Structure 1
Amino acid sequence: MSSAQDDPTIGRLVADASRDMSALVQSEIALAKSELKSSAISGGLAAGLFAVAGFILLLMVILLSITAAYFLTMTGMHPAWAFLIVTGAYFLLAVVLVAVGIYSIKKIKAPTKTIASAKAIPAALRGRRP
């Protein structure tokens, strides 16, 4: 049979629980750091690969533009006119995209209900109705 000296005191149990909780929290923080570091490396690699792919696509658009202009010269058109037509097509595409963007911006509205409720918060905290 055990004596009273072998039984842990409440203070000792609390100290042990506190120590164990501290160790658990530190372990969880270390695990989170490890996972986040791995995720950050993967995210950085992905961003770099997307940047390279975007650059390659830009080069492809340039080459496609030159190809389109040279196809126009095969009809007997002077190369200057062929390149001007391709440039004009890109200009028209840009104008259409800007027009659609402006239309989309004009559809943006202020969050009037949220603003109204946010203005009512100070009065509500003071116990008054807005």
Structure 2
Amino acid sequence: MSAPDGSTDSAVGTVGAERSIGQLFASATTEMSALVHDEIALAKVQLKQDVKKGAVSGGAFTAALTVATFSLPMLSFALAYGINAWTGGHNGNGGWNLAWCFLLSFAASLLLAGLLGLIGMTFAKKAKKGKGPQKVAASVKETAGVLQNAKPHPRPVTAGDRVPEAIEAVARSSS
């Protein structure tokens, strides 16, 4: 039998020779090690995604707080005087009372801060729902369960795979 990669068995030196139990164990160990490394890499990637979602959430909350704190004085004055001018205060007709204009400006600022807060909550929920490490742990358990129940399925020996009796005897005596 040839190895899965198509190479020949180097211990006996002939094509079609059976692989020893040691070689099979070494191959299985190498493949399990590669599988574990791949699962760890997957866990790292999924954890980075969850951390990124949490960072976006924190950034949105920070932006909401900043907008609510620093924009109120500047934007409130501009919006209040804009409302006053829009309602007729610019042409000498008086327009709305400036107190009502400032109140509307304040309400608009709170509405913007609330919208940014909702965006932050949405990203926080997504980050909380992210189950990257749990998915990887479940995948590792599933792989281990499959490998525990795995049974070898020998390939039927064909005439082309048969080794001359003398070589087979030497292979048996050396292992």
> Could you say whether these structures have the same fold, taking a TM-score greater than 0.5 normalized by the shorter chain as the test?
no
With the shorter chain as reference, the TM-score category is 0.3 to 0.5
Could you say which structure has the higher helix fraction?
Answer: 1
| Greater C-alpha Rg | 2
Bigger relative contact order, structure 1 or 2, given CA contacts below 8 A and separation 6+? Answer: 2
User: TM-score, normalising length from structure 2?
Assistant: 0.32
